Amino acid sequence: MRDTQGQYNSAVRIVKTLRNGGFEAFFAGGWVRDRVMGAPSPSDIDVATSAAPADVRRLFGRTVGVGEQFGVMLVLDGGISFEVATFRADVGVGDGRHPESVVYTDAENDALRRDFTVNGMFYDPEIGEVIDYVGGRADIDGRLIKAIGDPEQRFREDYLRMLRAVRFAARFNFDIDGRTLEAIRANAHRINAISAERIYAEMSKMLTGPNSNTSIELLHGAGLLKHLLPEVENLRGVEQPAQFHPEGDVFVHTVKALSLLPENPSLALAWAALLHDIGKPATKSVADRIRFNNHNVVGARMSINALKRLRAPNALVDTVAAMVENHMNFMNVSKMRLSTLKKFLSRETIRDELALHRIDCLSSHGDLENYRFVEEKLSGFKAEQIKPKPFVTGRDLIELGLTPGPAFGRILSAVYDLQLEEKVASREEALKTMHGMLNNRDK
């Protein structure tokens, strides 16, 4: 857990130091919003000040010039780092957070360059007062995400703000203000003008944050989803067999699965929940009933494409693809040979896969038998039982006179399977078995 009190005390010290140096300083951004809302665990504290980066460096012992040319410094206090940003107006904004240049200005103008009214307030920690130039408090009361100033212009400055609007609306269960939503709809097709990396980062926040199901519905409603992830938009209207999917079409199922994610899910789990069935539209066939043969394999390939397009890190792409590809294997767990089951359980992604399987069931037929089976096995087996150290290795085969080649691996894996099956219980037995295999081979 973050040390909230420690963070607060450090931030107050920073504000006092700036003020003693003759500058204005306030808390700004998400923390103020969360405080006004009475949120139980408020966002990190950012500080906004009239001090220029050079002044900040002079006043504090430990600083890092993270975005110095834009007026953003990191100040370290009590082991915590704080963004201390000079009041600024952005000039020639390319991507919003990284304008071509900035001019330093006063608090009010700094509020006006921020994205939404709820994010545009300051807080004076010495007198405990909110400073609100943009009507943020009224919009918190009215539960509205509203652009500061002219929405069209604000989104044109930085299309990422369209995604931020969706994320904040979902997170707080707020509506997006009418004119703001209209401007998003009108500009939705321009979303890919911003870098894939920023889209990926913002979508990752949406998916791992509260109410990710609402985020995806809002993205669709605002006309953004088809430009971001057509693979997910295409799940709409894809009907499924009612006996397994009483909830509805594949999109409804996916959104419901997201609603069942645990708090703070891993990035891989959140993305896999969104993408696990994207292979369904392309594999749908109607035989005895509606079927989606091989949708897990097709879906894994499509997940790789989608995530690469968004420039997701390779490790995440691989993990999500493995999770999507494996998500149907849970159907077979109770019939697997012991060696197959143990190999299935010993994979690194199994915990997240099991969590995915659980929400996949709960957002459809509700049958948790296979989930419970795997849970029991995972807690019942000791780690060395699931993935024991092999009794025999290649060295033993060499000592038995075999030269390394394709047969090598086959024999070792056959003996290891017997070990996993608990049919050979010691190194001696394994050696004997291996011997037997070699003799048979020679005949």
Binding stretches for ligand ATP (CB under 6 A): 29-30, 43, 46, 96-97, 114-115, 119-120, 158, 160-161
| From ligand ATP, Mg ion, none, interface partner of 115 (C-beta below 5 to 8 A by class) | ligand ATP
In the complex, what is the shortest distance from the CB of residue 109 to ligand ATP, in angstroms, rounded to a whole number?
Answer: 13
| From ligand ATP, Mg ion, none, interface partner of 114 (C-beta below 5 to 8 A by class) | ligand ATP
In the complex, what is the shortest distance from the CB of residue 29 to ligand ATP, in angstroms, rounded to a whole number?
Answer: 3
Closer residue to Mg ion (CB): 46 or 157: 46
Question: Residue 102's beta-bridge partner residues?
Answer: 90
Q: Considering only the stretches 25-33, 58-66, 110-118, 231-239, report the one whose residues sit in contact with Mg ion under the rule CB under 5 A.
A: 25-33
Which pair of tokens denotes residue 108?
């009010």
Q: How many C-beta atoms lie closer than 10 Å to residue 136's C-beta?
A: 25
Question: Residue 27's beta-bridge partner residues?
Answer: 47, 123
In the complex, what is the shortest distance from the CB of residue 367 to ligand ATP, in angstroms, rounded to a whole number?
Answer: 37
The candidate with the shortest Cα–Cα distance to 196, out of 29, 317, 323, 67, is 317
Q: Which residue type sits at 106?
A: D
Going 44 to 50 to 53 to 57, the CA torsion angle's sign is negative
- Helices marked H in 113-245 — which ranges? 136-141, 151-157, 160-172, 178-187, 196-208, 212-221, 225-228, 230-233
| Interacting positions 32-51 with Mg ion (CB under 5 A) | 43-44
- 75 sits in which H/E element: strand 72-77
Contact 219, 169 (CB under 8 A): no
| From Mg ion, ligand ATP, none, interface partner of 67 (C-beta below 5 to 8 A by class) | none
In the complex, what is the shortest distance from the CB of residue 325 to ligand ATP, in angstroms, rounded to a whole number?
Answer: 32
Among 30, 221, 241, 394, binds Mg ion (CB under 5 A): 30
Closer residue to ligand ATP (CB): 24 or 421: 24
Q: Considering only the stretches 24-32, 170-178, 217-225, 327-335, report the one whose residues sit in contact with Mg ion under the rule CB under 5 A.
A: 24-32
In the complex, what is the shortest distance from the CB of residue 249 to Mg ion, in angstroms, rounded to a whole number?
Answer: 36
Burial of 253 (0-12, 13-18, 19+ CB in 10 A): buried
Binding site for Mg ion (CB under 5 A): 30, 43-44
